[in-house]
Amino acid sequence: MEKLPLTEYPFPKLSLDEILELERIYKDVVGKVFNRKLCQEIAKRFSSSSNGAGKNSLSWQQVQLWFRNSQRMLLGEDISSSDLLKISADLADSPLLGNGKGKQATDLDDMGFEARSTKDNAWHDVSMFLNYRVLSTGELEVRVRYAGFGKEQDEWMNVKLGVRERSIPLEPSECHKVKDGDLVLCFLEKEDYALYCDARIVKIQRKIHDPTDCTCTFIVQFVHDNTEVIFDFFSSLSLKR
């Protein structure tokens, strides 16, 4: 099936599991009118399920919006749950996700992700995936909302190049895990901003220290502009998965 360029599939703030379930319901009741009563029943079931635990309740208006969007999309192009599953597959296969392989769509809600903004080349925690689109090249993009930012900062990100599982902050006792040449997420501080960017470890001057306070010196080179910075404290580094 040939996909149209920049095909968008809008949906409310739902988990992947919920979206897959909505698609199943849609196929079962295709041809019926998605009136208020039906949408209320579905919303009630979702809101009382374990999938809705700790999250805002799903409104019947959101359910109706989702079904209407699905009807519009099916008129122009046959998009199914396989595209949603492709998100998890592409995330798992991404070279930026070293140990993410094999994770299914049901696992994504339990994982934390970060995305590299095209505006500042920095990695920011992802609050939620809003929707997705498939380019004419077959590449998958997701629209992300960054944690702590509003909708005006939302961005479309290439899944393979700009999304990965959240980096792990290192403890002072774990400095032995970092080697020359390793790619790390490093705190870049300037006069007017402070960001987390990818950097390569150029050299490590190791020192004997106690487990609670690393005194080693790290020379890193930032990937986006090749500048080198010397760090005398370990808290600025995070392991990249």
Q: Which residues contact 42 (CB under 8 A, 6 or more apart)?
A: 22, 25, 60, 63
> pLDDT value at position 236?
66
> pLDDT value at position 108?
47
> pLDDT value at position 135?
77
CA distance 73 to 131: 14
> pLDDT value at position 93?
53
> pLDDT value at position 13?
52
Other Cβ atoms closer than 10 A to 82: 10
Other Cβ atoms closer than 10 A to 129: 23
> pLDDT value at position 87?
53
> pLDDT value at position 221?
94
Other Cβ atoms closer than 10 A to 58: 24
> pLDDT value at position 222?
93
Query: Angle of helix 16-28 relative to helix 60-76, nearest 10 degrees?
Result: 70
Residue by residue, pLDDT tens for the chain (241 residues) are: 333 233 333 344 556 666 677 777 877 776 666 777 888 888 888 777 644 455 556 777 777 777 766 665 454 443 344 444 455 555 555 544 444 433 333 344 456 889 999 998 899 998 888 887 777 777 788 888 998 888 889 999 998 899 988 888 888 888 888 999 999 998 887 777 788 899 999 999 999 998 888 889 999 999 989 999 888 766 666 766 4
CA distance 22 to 124: 30
DSSP characters over 8-26: EE---S--HHHHHHHHHHH
> pLDDT value at position 24?
78
**In angstroms, how far is the first alpha carbon of the chain from the final one?**
34
Domains and CATH numbers, the chain: 1-166 (2.40.50.40), 168-239 (2.30.30.140)
> pLDDT value at position 200?
94
Which residues face 219 on adjacent strands?
A: 203, 230
> pLDDT value at position 46?
78
CA distance 41 to 36: 9
| DSSP label of 98 | T
> pLDDT value at position 239?
60
Residue 135 has, within 13 A of its CA and on its CB side, a CA count of 9
CA distance 33 to 94: 40
> pLDDT value at position 72?
53
